[in-house]
């Protein structure tokens, strides 16, 4: 947990703040943030996070395009990606899986769900 | 009267009737123009109001988050302080002090949990902002169609008609199904989908 650096991507400042607070309470203190997929790709190069939490609906570059772009690069092939979004239509979830999302939470979420999903993903 | 005269009279009558019809249509268009122009001018006002609600709700939510963060920090300090008090309690007073510190710690932890619960509920802002964006997008669609109709019927170039089309004013990213309560797929079904994929 100590060496885990999480990138939280969401266009809503409120959501970024809630996610960061929830992560810190769960013991994940190293968290960086990005406002959309384009910003996230730029932060990936500099900050080198080893876990990504991303929203879907964002301006400039949406979450799905961001994940597809990540997965097209060899260095991010196995990077754990958790999608946290309002999209709960089954077809959307299947599209997210195809794009390379490792797990998926529908907003609004509880802190317990977020922590459980991260723990589950880290456990492999 | 020759048959040519009769035909000429018939054609003249038809032309007069056609002219009257065209005049009626033009008159109807003129009557339609004003309410259409007024609606075209009012729709962006409604859209702006929705955007204003989103901005102001976001601003207040941020302030509420700041307060909740301060509460959580103070409660964490209280819990740490009570832990120290319990460790330093003298043997004479240890039972009473320890009991009191335990009770206060439980209350402080309850406060902390409630503060995080408030933070969880503040996610409403992101969801209602997407609902507002959806409504604003539908209004922009109406505005765009009214704009085209007014241009087609040659309405006077009012300020509204000269303004930028709605599509170029703001980029909106939203989920049209965003909902606080109604999730189209349960989290347990989502988990099953991912579990199946893993197998």
A65: in domain: yes
Region A36-60: what's the mean pLDDT? 96
State the pLDDT confidence band at A25, using cuts at 50, 70 and 90.
Answer: very high
The answer to whether the CB atoms of B58 and A13 lie below 8 A apart is: yes
Taking 80 as the threshold, does the pLDDT of residue B93 lie above it?
no
**pLDDT recorded at residue B167:** 62
Which phi and psi (to 5°) does residue A31 adopt? Answer: -125, 130
**pLDDT recorded at residue B90:** 72
Architecture of domain B3-166: Orthogonal Bundle (1.10)
State the pLDDT confidence band at B162, using cuts at 50, 70 and 90.
Answer: low
State the pLDDT confidence band at B165, using cuts at 50, 70 and 90.
Answer: low
A40: in domain: yes
The answer to whether the CB atoms of A58 and B190 lie below 8 A apart is: no
Burial label for B163, CB within 10 Å (0-12, 13-18, 19+), is: middle
Q: For chain B, what is the mean pLDDT?
A: 88
Residues on chain A touching B174 (C-beta within 8 angstroms): 57
A1: in domain: no
Q: What percent of chain B has pLDDT over 90?
A: 57
Q: What percent of chain B has pLDDT over 70?
A: 90
Which contiguous run of DSSP H or E holds residue A7? strand A6-9
**pLDDT recorded at residue B29:** 78
**pLDDT recorded at residue B164:** 66
- pLDDT per residue over B41-73, tens digit each? 889 999 999 999 999 999 999 999 999 999 999
How far apart CA B53 and CA B55 sit, in angstroms, is: 6
The answer to whether the CB atoms of A86 and B193 lie below 8 A apart is: no
Using alpha carbons only, give the angle B183, A89, A35 rounded to the nearest 5 degrees.
85
A124: in domain: no
Which of A8, A11, A14 has the most B C-beta neighbours within 10 Å, making it the best mutation to test the interface with B? A14
Q: Tell whether A24 lies on the interface with B, counting CB pairs under 8 A.
A: no
* Domain carrying residue A109: 6-118
Which of A20, A21, A38, A62 has the most B C-beta neighbours within 10 Å, making it the best mutation to test the interface with B? A21
A52: in domain: yes
The dihedral through the CA atoms of B185, B53, A35, A120 has a sign that is: negative
Radius of gyration from C-alpha coordinates of chain B: 34
Helix B94-121 / helix B3-88 crossing angle, nearest 10 deg: 170
Give how many domains chain A has, as a whole number. 1
> Does ipTM come in above 0.85?
yes
A21: in domain: yes
Least confident residue range of B15-19, B47-51, B163-167? B163-167
A71: in domain: yes
State the pLDDT confidence band at B37, using cuts at 50, 70 and 90.
Answer: confident
Residues on chain A touching B189 (C-beta within 8 angstroms): 90
Residues on chain B touching A11 (C-beta within 8 angstroms): 173
Taking 60 as the threshold, does the pLDDT of residue A2 lie above it?
no
State the pLDDT confidence band at B166, using cuts at 50, 70 and 90.
Answer: low
**pLDDT recorded at residue B88:** 84
A20: in domain: yes
Q: For chain A, what is the mean pLDDT?
A: 95
SS3 A107: coil
**pLDDT recorded at residue B59:** 96
Determine the residue of chain B that is closest to A82 in CA distance.
Answer: B194
DSSP A50: S
The CATH code of the domain that includes A92 is 3.40.50.2300
Please report, for chain B, the start and end positions of each structural domain, with discontinuous segments joined by +.
3-166
DSSP A4: -
> What count of CB pairs under 8 Å joins A to B?
103
CA nearest to B176, candidates B139, B125, B144, B135: B135
Least confident residue range of A77-86, A101-110, B150-159? B150-159
The answer to whether the CB atoms of B185 and A90 lie below 8 A apart is: yes
**A62's torsion region: left (phi>0), alpha (psi -120 to 50) or beta?**
beta
Q: Tell whether A93 lies on the interface with B, counting CB pairs under 8 A.
A: yes
SS in 3 state form for B90-149? CCCCHHHHHHHHHHHHHHHHHHHHHHHHHHHHCCHHHHHHHHHHHHHHHHHHHHHHHHHH
State the pLDDT confidence band at B87, using cuts at 50, 70 and 90.
Answer: confident
């Amino acid at each position: 947990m100590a060496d885990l650096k999480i990138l939280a991507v969401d266009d809503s400042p409120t959501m970024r703040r809630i996610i960061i607070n929830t992560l810190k309470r769960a013991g994940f203190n190293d968290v960086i943030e990005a406002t959309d997929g384009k910003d996230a790709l730029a932060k990936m190069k500099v900050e080198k996070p080893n876990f990504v939490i991303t929203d879907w609906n964002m301006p400039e570059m949406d979450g799905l395009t961001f994940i597809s772009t990540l997965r097209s690069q060899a260095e991010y092939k196995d990077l754990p990606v958790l999608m946290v979004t309002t999209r709960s239509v089954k077809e959307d979830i299947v599209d997210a899986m195809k794009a390379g999302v490792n797990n998926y939470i529908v907003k609004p979420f509880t802190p317990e769900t977020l922590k459980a999903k991260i723990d589950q993903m880290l456990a492999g | 009267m020759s048959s040519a005269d009769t035909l000429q009279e018939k054609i003249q009558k038809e032309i007069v009737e056609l002219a009257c019809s065209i005049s009626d249509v033009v008159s109807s268009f003129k009557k339609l123009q004003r309410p259409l122009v007024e609606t075209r001018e009012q729709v962006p006002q409604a859209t702006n109001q929705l955007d204003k609600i989103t901005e102001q709700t976001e601003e207040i939510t941020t302030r509420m988050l700041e307060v909740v963060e301060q509460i959580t920090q103070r409660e964490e300090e209280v819990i740490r302080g009570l832990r120290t008090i319990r460790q330093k309690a003298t043997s004479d007073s240890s039972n009473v002090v320890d009991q009191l510190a335990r009770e206060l710690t439980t209350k402080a932890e309850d406060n902390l949990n409630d503060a995080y619960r408030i933070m969880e509920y503040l996610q409403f802002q992101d969801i209602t902002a997407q609902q507002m964006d959806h409504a604003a997008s539908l209004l922009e669609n109406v505005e765009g169609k009214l704009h085209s109709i007014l241009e087609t019927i040659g309405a006077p170039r009012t300020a509204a008609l000269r303004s930028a089309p709605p599509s170029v004013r703001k980029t909106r990213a939203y989920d049209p199904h965003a909902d606080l309560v109604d999730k189209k797929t349960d989290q347990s079904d989502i988990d099953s989908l991912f579990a199946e994929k893993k197998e």
